[in-house]
Structure formats: structure tokens, C-alpha cells
């Protein structure tokens, strides 16, 4: 089977919070400069009246196509007004898209509805499945149990499909990989692998908690049991950093992004 490579960038894009218009300008320019083949956004903001749409704005700037999973409808504050809106997931790509499925995940009234956006792409002769997730933000035992159930439900859904050349789960997991909710998934039967670890890179914080402590909540994970190709991680980097504001003190998001390049053979 012939070799092919592609890069994926994942970012929690922070809804419409902060300096939204300025942030979207920084994000658009960052995506143009980084030129990923696939972009997975969480907290992608969409106003019901069509006045704002983060993913479509990024698509217009980059020339990529956007597929959205609208979720978590509520009123949100934008530029001093309350806007009926969604905060869901979006995948942008110029690669051929073969399938897009939104998977309802276990949820709770305290957390609202959570979806996984699952897309199948074609990279050369290879089918690549990307699951774009934003797991529960709830803390404590209830939050741990919910995140564990959400990831388990997603992996069971992916297992029902025929294995792709590469299967990835990426996004904002709201936990480090060694947390109680996630640590068991690195062993049988899933054996999830951190793409940064595969290339020998230490992880850097991707956001701050309420006390200003760095946290590693965002991940790009390889699912070996659902990947048929020989997969090599060629590069992995923390990008669009939350801790490197511009001269105005603005960053693209309150999270950093992750960009990973894969080669399949």
C-alpha cells in the first residue's frame, strides 16, 4: 500500500468569549500559516440568526470545507448582547470526506448534551477516521465517571465500524491522560496512544485552571486496535498558544492547539 501523510490540528476555540472578533482574526491567520489538512474545533460558536459562525469563518479564510455538529444550545453573551447559539464541534478539511456521523454521548442535566463528531477522510488510498470530542467539564466523582462513560461509548461506536487505515480521537478531554477517568484506556482492549509520546515529546500545558495552574486537557490519540496501516508520527507541536498573546494581549483561544503530522503506509 502506498505511503501518504497529512497533518491534523485540534483546538478548543472558546465559543464567543473574550475578544471574539479579534481572536477569530488571529485564529484564521494561524490556520493559514500552519496549513493543516484537517482542523478539529471544539466549542465552535454558531449564532442561530447566522450573524456569527466560527467554523464557516475559518473555512472562508482557509479554503477548507466545514462540517459542523451543533450542540449545547443556549443564550450566550456576544459583544454585550444575548445571542441564541450553539457551541459544538466542527471539522474543516480539503481532503475527500466519505462519511460524517454525530454520536450522542452519555450526558447529564448539569453538563448538557455532548456529541462526538466522527468523520472518515480519504488520504491517498487510506481511509482515516477522526473522532472530534469535547468530554464533560464536570469535576469530582460524577465528572470522572461521566468522562469515562463518554469515551467508552465513543470507542464502542468506532469498534462497530470496519477498522480504517488510521483511527484518531482528538479534542478537549477535560482531563490529563493519567487522570482516573482516562488512564484505563491506555491498556487493553483499546491501548490508546498519545501522539506526542509516540514522537518522544513532553506535553506542555494546553490551558490554565481557575488558580492559574497549567493543565494538559487536549490530546490527539491513536487507536491502534482500529488502525490497519503502519502509522508513523512525524511531528507533534503545541501551536496557537494560549500563553503567547499578541501586542494587544489577545490569543486565538484560552486553549492552545495541537498539530500532529502522520505518515501512513
Question: Is the torsion defined by CA of 4, 170, 255, 197 positive or negative?
Answer: negative
| Matching CATH number, 4-264, of 3.30.1490.20, 3.40.50.970, 3.60.10.10, 3.40.50.10490 | 3.60.10.10
Domain boundaries, the chain: 4-264
Cell of 148: 469515562
State the Cα–Cα distance between residues 261 and 77, nearest whole angstrom.
Answer: 36
**How is 193-230 classified by DSSP, letter by letter?**
EEHHHHTTPPP---EE-TTS-EE--EEEEE-GGGB-S-
pLDDT tens digit sequence for 2-44: 899 999 999 999 999 999 999 999 999 999 999 999 999 999 9
Q: Which of 125, 156, 22, 138 is nearest to 79 (CA)?
A: 22
3-class SS of residue 73? coil
Q: Which residue has the higher pLDDT, 163 or 192?
A: 192
pLDDT tens digit sequence for 62-89: 999 999 999 999 999 998 899 999 999 9
For 162, which DSSP code? P
Q: How confident is the model at residue 162 (pLDDT cuts 50, 70, 90)?
A: confident
Give the model's pLDDT for residue 163.
81
Average pLDDT over the chain, rounded to an integer = 96
Which residue shows C-alpha cell 494538559? Answer: 216
Q: What is the pTM of this model?
A: 0.96
State the Cα–Cα distance between residues 158 and 80, nearest whole angstrom.
Answer: 41
Q: How confident is the model at residue 206 (pLDDT cuts 50, 70, 90)?
A: very high
Nearest-Å Rg of the Cα atoms of the chain is: 17
Q: Are 78 and 47 in contact (CB under 8 A)?
A: yes
Amino acid at each position: 500500500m502506498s505511503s501518504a501523510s497529512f497533518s491534523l490540528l485540534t483546538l478548543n476555540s472558546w465559543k464567543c468569549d473574550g475578544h471574539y472578533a479579534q481572536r477569530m482574526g488571529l485564529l484564521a491567520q494561524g490556520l493559514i500559516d500552519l496549513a493543516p489538512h484537517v482542523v478539529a474545533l471544539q466549542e465552535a460558536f454558531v449564532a442561530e440568526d447566522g450573524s456569527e459562525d466560527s467554523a464557516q469563518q475559518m473555512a472562508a479564510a482557509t479554503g477548507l470545507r466545514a462540517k459542523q455538529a451543533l450542540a449545547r444550545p443556549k443564550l450566550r453573551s456576544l459583544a454585550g448582547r444575548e445571542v441564541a447559539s450553539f457551541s459544538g464541534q466542527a471539522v474543516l478539511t480539503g481532503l475527500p470526506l466519505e462519511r460524517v456521523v454525530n454520536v450522542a454521548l452519555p450526558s447529564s442535566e448539569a453538563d448538557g448534551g455532548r456529541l462526538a463528531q466522527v468523520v472518515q477522510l480519504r488520504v491517498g488510498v487510506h481511509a482515516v477516521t477522526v473522532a472530534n470530542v469535547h468530554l464533560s467539564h464536570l469535576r469530582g466523582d460524577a465528572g470522572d465517571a461521566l468522562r469515562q462513560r463518554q469515551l467508552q461509548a465513543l470507542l464502542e461506536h468506532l469498534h462497530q465500524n470496519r477498522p480504517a487505515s488510521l483511527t484518531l480521537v482528538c479534542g478537549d478531554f477535560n482531563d490529563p491522560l493519567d487522570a482516573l477517568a482516562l488512564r484505563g484506556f491506555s491498556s487493553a482492549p483499546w491501548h490508546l496512544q498519545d501522539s506526542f509520546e509516540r514522537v518522544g515529546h513532553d506535553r506542555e500545558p494546553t490551558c490554565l485552571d481557575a488558580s492559574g495552574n497549567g493543565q494538559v486537557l487536549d490530546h490527539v490519540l491513536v487507536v491502534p486496535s482500529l488502525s490497519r496501516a503502519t502509522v508513523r508520527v512525524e511531528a507533534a507541536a503545541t501551536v496557537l498558544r494560549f500563553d503567547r498573546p499578541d501586542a494587544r494581549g489577545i490569543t486565538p483561544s484560552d486553549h492552545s492547539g495541537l498539530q500532529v503530522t502522520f505518515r501512513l503506509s
